[in-house]
Amino acid sequence: MLTMPILFLRAGILTGILVILLSGFISYTTCRIYVTHLAKGDTDIEDSIKRILGSKWERAFKLITGYYLVFLNIIYVELIIDQLYNVIYFFMNLLEHSDWISPKGVPQLVFDRFSVQYLSLICFLPLLGMIFIKDLSFLVRLTALGFISVLIYLAFLFYAFFSNLQIVDWSTIPWFSTNLGNLAGSCAIAFTIHPTVALIVKRNELQ
């Protein structure tokens, strides 16, 4: 989400719009297929796949989604640490204590001052503790706060866009580009909701 404007700029205006529209169409269509074939007795997508395609495809679905979610969580942890380190680095420079923290993008391991390695170790413990949480109501409240932060970020994007619209050099912004991989990959994160779409529909029915 935070890197979308940069990725959109690299992909080109029209090309980026087409990638986002295509990704949204695929996500909507596949979710609609899930919901259409969801029987009353199915509590999850796994039940639908087992009922329609058999146990073999159910195991394949579990294997694919399992690996996908593991790798996706690794990417999420990297993004969390990267964004948090940028915030800490900003305040260290603001307080004129940049010598206390390692510069960003250093290829070697740094342990003689605060670095990405130390931040990774610090973040590992709370992230590991989240695995053992049985009462998920706390995480649901955190999700609501995350949604508010996304709205604030969107408001900032619109403000920055319109306030800088008059000084934008449109000749430097490509309309078309073949650099679509990063933008398409970020849009593909939307497919993470697919394994939970059945649960969302079931919860809505109960309310």
Q: Per-residue confidence at 90, pLDDT binned at 50, 70, 90?
A: confident
Which residue in the block uniquely carries the two structure tokens 């399992």? 66
Rounded to the nearest angstrom, the gap between the alpha carbon of residue 154 and the centroid of all alpha carbons in its chain is: 15
Q: What distance in Å separates the CA atoms of residue 29 and residue 197, rounded to the nearest whole number?
A: 12
Q: Name which residue leads in pLDDT, 19 or 43.
A: 19
199 contact partners, CB below 8 Å, separation of at least 6: 43, 44
pTM, whole model, 2 decimals? 0.60
- Residue 114, classed as helix, strand or coil, is strand
Is 35 in contact with 43 (CB distance < 8 Å)? no
- DSSP string over 74-91: HHHHHHHHHHHHHHHHHH
Percent of the residues in the chain that have a pLDDT greater than 70, as a whole number: 91
AA letter at 105: G
Mean pLDDT of the chain: 78
pLDDT tens across 106-123, in order? 777 777 778 888 888 888
